[in-house]
Amino acid sequence: MNAASWGWLVLLFPLLGSVLIGATFRVLPARTAGLIGIGAIVAAFVCGIAAVVSLQGEPAESRHVTDSLWQYASVGGLSIDLGIYVDPLSLFMVLVVTGVSSLIHIYSYSYMKSDAGYHRFFSYLNFFVFSMLLLVLAGNYVLLIVGWAFVGFASYALISFWYRRETATRAGMKAFVINVVGDIGLVLAAILIFRELGVIDYGAVFEKAPEVFTTTNEWTAVAICLLLLVGAFAKSAQMPFHTWLADAMEGPTPVSSLIHAATMVTAGVYLVGRSYPLFELAPAAADVAAIVGLVTLLVAGTIAIVVTDLKRIIAYSTMSQIGYMFVAVGIGAYSAGFFHLMTHAFFKALLFMAAGSVIAAMANIQNIDRMKGFYRAMPFTAAMLIIGALALSGFPGTSGWFSKDEIIDFASFRGGWYEIFAIGGYIGAFMTAIYSFRIIFRILPGPPCEEAAHLIETGHVVHGEPVNPATGEKEDVEVGYPGEDHHIAEQATGMKIGMSVLGFLALVGGLVQIPGVTEVITHFLEPTFEDSPLAAMHPSVSEAWKGLAKGAVISVVGIAFTWWLYIGRPSVPETLRRTFRPVYTLFVNKWYGDQIIDFLIVRPVKGLGRFADRVFEPFVINGLTGGTIAIVRSAGGAVRDLQSGMLRSYALLMAVGTVAILLYLLIRSL
């Protein structure tokens, strides 16, 4: 079997799993559904590995396979195949997605144990994985859009998974609509690509693009790339399309872990990497990607430092880390960007899982101000949190250290004005250290809070009243909300397996890409980026190590500073907050992103709607209608008066009419 056949199998298993669980939800025992879900993803992972093996058997220059099932649609020369494109990049994504998904499925198997919507959860989750795989394996831009929209839909369905919560449904709507805006960007990009190049399949597009766009920064090429970026930013929660991600934390924690940290939100990075031949023809657009990435990474970092909702801190950190990836693919550090994508998937999924464990123990309270002393209450989770935070902040030796600093190195290596990406990257890294260890120092040490104490004493988590963490309202537990028997914490085996494997990967995952030693990722992805002059550039090994040393210093100093801030001098944060009140207000209100979008887009559209409804409809449309009706009615009225019912007046009219006609004929004949 060749790589493409394995690729189809990768797609098939999650889809089958989703349909099977969905179709048999009435008869299938819940645990079996979970096992089917896990099995489908693991099978996809195995097929992914088989595809890699099969593809590595080929010589480097022919390591891309396309295959098409049937013609999806073809009219007027615009022909779309239901085809996949298998090359190192797509398989890399397949492995990351299926690998992390498998672990998160195993985690969810335990975590969602008491949820009434168990089948639904696994059906959606498998569908999500299918969509994500479709996105990365798609062989043309239209199929990419299909996968793109399907992950958006799956994300919507899982954000509003607890659909009796109005906050959840509202968040789902927001995510979906913003993602549709992104989809439109992609649609227009695909149309423009077809108009300029006459093809839509990846291979053909990348082949023809250099022939058509002969000079750099031709405006159509820039327009295509900017439209692609609209889609990428919307999906990856980059500014100004970032507001949905924090609200998306309304979904169950495994969902946040899988979709809103490890996989879906990195789709934008994949898109830019996939379309690198276009972006290299339009460097201006690539710079836009990098700049937006930089801005997002800084802004999100500042927000993550001040918010107090545990999941939201991690969500803003995700935005920030994806900012790094955009910087990477924008400046041409492709393999570094995808390396960071992979390590980020490990440590961010881990952090969310550990956070989920803590939140479950807190009876769904997510405010870190309330959490204390979990080091003693949940040692395993605490260890995982620390590993995740270390990797996230780039502590020397961890996976995040290798990946993040490789991006920053490349920026300073390119030199010129790209230097600002390096500087911004270091500032971001410092903030990363602060916010990740803020979590650690706030919730792990100290005297145990009420819930943690309960856990230490009884060995069971608190069964609090189920409340909505966003509003504090009492929750309706009948449908799909963890009920009173929801007392999983770190004791559950599934959760432990998921976390420990990821913890291991987060610690040592960086070893595959040690500068000058292993560099597995770079070599693996080389065939995909073989035509790129940027990918061929490398900082020398010594420069790379110098960069890593700088990163190590920043990370350690940042952690020490945070320790001083929260453990050494606990009064300092409050003082800082008071001294820089305007800045704090700006940060804690997320730079007013929601309000700005509300003001610029939501309100005008609503106003237009109100205008149409209150003014236009009654006056213009109904005026038009009413006017027509009035004319018809008055014309009818005029005729009606003749219908007197008087027989003799009818006869007279007839006689007069006849005479008139006769007279007319007479006069004419004269």
Partner 1 sequence: MLSAILWTPLVFGLISLLVPRRFAAWAAGAGTVVTLILATIVAIGFDPSGGLQYVVDVTWIPGLGINYSLGIDGISVFLVLLTAIAWVPAVAFTASRGTDRAGLFYFMLLVGQTATLGAFLAQDLLLFVLFFDLMIVPFYFLFGIWGSDRDGVTASSATVKMIVFTLIGSLLMLVGAVAVGVISADGGQLTFNMADLAEAGLPSGSQNWIFWFFAAAFLLKMPAFPLLGWMPDAYRVAPLPALAVFSAVLSKVGAYGFLRVVLPIMPDATELFQTTMLIIALASIIYGSVMAFTKLDLRLILGFSSVAQLGFITLGIFALDSTGANGALLQMINHGLVVVPAFLIVALIAERTGSEEIGPMGGLAKNAPVFAVIFLIVTMATLAIPGSANFIGEFYILNGVFNTDVAIAIIASSGVALAAFYALRMFQRTMHNPLPEGADSREISLRDGLMIVPIVLIMIVLAFCPQIILGDTADSVDATVAISKEAAQ
Partner 2 sequence: MAIEWYLVLSAMLFSIGLAGVLIRRNPVVILLCLELMLSGGALAMLAFSRLHGDGDGQVFVLMVLVVAASEVVVGLGLVVAMFRRRIPLDVDEMKELRG
List phi, psi (to 5°) of 449.
Answer: -75, 175
Strands 78-86 and 65-75: antiparallel
CB-based burial label for 19 (10 Å; 0-12, 13-18, 19+): middle
191 binds partner 1 (CB under 8 A): yes
Token reading at 349:
């999924």
644 binds partner 2 (CB under 8 A): yes
Token reading at 454:
């309960």
571 binds partner 2 (CB under 8 A): no
Task: List helix spans (H) across 444-492.
Answer: 450-458
CB of 610: closest distance to partner 1 in angstroms? 7
Q: Closest CB to partner 1 among 51 and 230?
A: 230
72 binds partner 1 (CB under 8 A): yes
> How many residues lie near partner 2 (CB under 8 A)?
13
Q: Closest CB to partner 1 among 178 and 319?
A: 178
Query: Is 263:105 a contact under the CB 8 Å cutoff?
Result: no
Residue 104 DSSP symbol: H
> How many residues lie near partner 1 (CB under 8 A)?
62
**430 contacts which partner out of partner 1, partner 2, none, CB within 5 to 8 A by kind?**
none
Query: Is 361:452 a contact under the CB 8 Å cutoff?
Result: yes
CB of 642: closest distance to partner 2 in angstroms? 8
Output the CA–CA distances (angstroms, integers) from residue 367 to 186, 359, 363, 471, 565, in the order listed. 37, 9, 11, 12, 19
**644 contacts which partner out of partner 1, partner 2, none, CB within 5 to 8 A by kind?**
partner 2
154 binds partner 1 (CB under 8 A): no
Helix orientation angle between 3-23 and 118-137, rounded to the nearest 10 degrees: 160
Task: Give the separation between CA 654 and CA 643, rounded to whole angstroms.
Answer: 13
Could you tell me which of 411, 63, 14 has the C-alpha nearest to residue 203?
Answer: 63
Query: Is 309:369 a contact under the CB 8 Å cutoff?
Result: no
**153 contacts which partner out of partner 2, partner 1, none, CB within 5 to 8 A by kind?**
partner 1
Query: Which residues, including other chains, have CB under 8 Å from residue 362's CB and lie 6 or more apart?
Result: 370, 371, 451, 462
Q: Closest CB to partner 1 among 32 and 71?
A: 71
Residue 83 DSSP symbol: E
**655 contacts which partner out of partner 2, partner 1, none, CB within 5 to 8 A by kind?**
partner 2
**652 contacts which partner out of partner 2, partner 1, none, CB within 5 to 8 A by kind?**
partner 2
Could you tell me which of 457, 427, 338, 343 has the C-alpha nearest to residue 392?
Answer: 343
Q: Closest CB to partner 1 among 19 and 453?
A: 19
Could you tell me which of 41, 56, 33, 54 has the C-alpha nearest to residue 10?
Answer: 41
517 binds partner 2 (CB under 8 A): no
Among 536, 631, 655, 663, binds partner 2 (CB under 8 A): 655
Between 459 and 498, how does the x/- string for binding to partner 1 read (CB under 8 A)?
Answer: -----------------x-xx-------------------
Token reading at 386:
């620390």
Helix (H, G, I), strand (E, B) or coil at 507: helix
Token reading at 534:
């940027």
643 binds partner 2 (CB under 8 A): yes
Q: Closest CB to partner 2 among 592 and 650?
A: 650
- Which range touches partner 1 (CB under 8 A), out of 167-175, 208-216, 341-349, 357-365? 167-175
600 binds partner 1 (CB under 8 A): no
121 binds partner 1 (CB under 8 A): no
Binding site for partner 1 (CB under 8 A): 22, 25, 70-78, 80, 82, 120, 142, 145-146, 148-150, 153, 156, 160, 163-164, 166, 169, 172-173, 176-177, 180-181, 183-184, 187-188, 190-192, 194-195, 476, 478-479, 605, 608-610, 612-613, 616-617, 620-622, 624-626, 628-629, 632
Binding site for partner 2 (CB under 8 A): 639-648, 651-652, 655
